[in-house]
Amino acid sequence: MVLQDLYCQYKPLLFTIAYRMLGTVSDAEDIVHDVYIQASEKTIEHIEKKKAYLCKMVTNKCIDHLKSARNNRQVYTGPWLPEPLILQENDPIHEVIKEEGVSFAILLLFEKLKPMERAVFILREVLDYDYPAISQILNCSVPNCRKILSRVKNKFPLITEELKPAFDPKKDEIIQTFVIALQQGNIQTIEQLLYQDVTLYSDGGGKVYAALKPVFSKGLVIRFINNLMSQNRNAEEPAIVQMVNVNGQAGLLVMGADQVKTVICFHVKDGRISDIYIVRNPDKLTHVSFKGL
């Protein structure tokens, strides 16, 4: 099999590994592309397990990137949120990616893990690799891989819980109701859809309007949403809100006259919205376009 065929076959898988590891679409795409270029400069025909080899290259590049990027995130202005992944039905990535492991809730929990911990957890719990394969990819002994995973589960039990959330058939309906209420300015309905201790995270990167800290409690979240709606009403050209698939779940795309202004996604639990994630940093929306939406 020629390298181009390998790249086409495994690109969606390699991208999902990198995106889960990094939480950034642009960096994930760059790393997958770099791996392809690096592989093209080598002779890999003699390598028996080519898929494992490519996964190893991507995973280790992600680990190196995280070690260098972590300091940048520590000086980030306001809450750091992942770059939203807008999925479409005809996208090859849509075929291999699952809601588990790409939601904003789980990606933010991954941020609490060290790079090696994140790699072991994703390979084992999300992608269901066996320990010998993980050991080969990470150059880490099987016993150490087991210890790392056990330590993660003990320190962060929520990660396992969030990985496979309970199926909620009304999740999309709740978000649709929220969108309609948002468009109508119906604060009472919005209030009914929120948990009392709902948390709102807004990522403006210091470049656009956003809260510099997470907003806690229903009252303060409502006030923040009111401010956003007021800004939209007073704008020369009010934004258009459209429902899209964000990280495997129903979310919102807020479009201005000529560009995407905001992407919003939610964490729905027990029939109510427990967390709201608002990405407004323009650098994190450059990969999102109107095409096909």
- Annotated domain spans of the chain: 1-75, 171-284
291, pLDDT greater than 50 = no
pLDDT of residue 183: 79
The per-residue pLDDT for range 99-134, each reduced to its tens digit, is 557 889 999 999 999 999 999 999 999 889 999 999
Per-residue pLDDT, averaged over 150-175, amounts to: 82
- Helix, strand, coil abundance in the chain, percent, nearest 5: 55, 15, 30
Residue range 171-284, CATH number: 3.10.450.50
Rounded to an integer, what is the distance from CA 173 to the centroid of its chain? 22
DSSP-derived secondary structure letter, 235: S
| Mean confidence (pLDDT) of the chain | 87
In 5-158, beta strands by DSSP E: 86-87
pLDDT of residue 293: 43
Tokens linked to 41: 């400069």
- State in words which class domain 1-75 has: mainly alpha
pLDDT of residue 249: 83
Helices (H) and strands (E) in the chain, counts: 12, 7
The per-residue pLDDT for range 128-142, each reduced to its tens digit, is 999 999 999 999 999
Contacts of 196 (CB under 8 A, 6+ apart): 217, 218
The per-residue pLDDT for range 5-33, each reduced to its tens digit, is 787 888 989 999 999 999 999 999 999 99
259, pLDDT greater than 90 = no
Per-residue pLDDT, averaged over 174-179, amounts to: 89
**pLDDT range class, residue 222, cuts 50, 70, 90:** very high
Work out the percent of the chain whose per-residue pLDDT is above 90. Answer: 51
The per-residue pLDDT for range 52-104, each reduced to its tens digit, is 889 999 999 999 999 887 767 778 899 999 999 987 777 667 666 655 578 89
pTM of the model: 0.89
Tokens linked to 10: 């495994």
Q: Amino acid identity of 241?
A: V
Rounded to an integer, what is the distance from CA 17 to the centroid of its chain? 12
Per-residue pLDDT, averaged over 199-206, amounts to: 95
**pLDDT range class, residue 292, cuts 50, 70, 90:** very low
β-bridge mates for residue 251, sequence order: 244
264, pLDDT greater than 90 = yes
Asked whether 216 and 197 are in contact (CB, 8 A), the reply is: yes
Q: Is 171 left (phi over 0), alpha (psi -120 to 50) or beta?
A: alpha
Per-residue pLDDT, averaged over 267-290, amounts to: 89
pLDDT of residue 99: 54
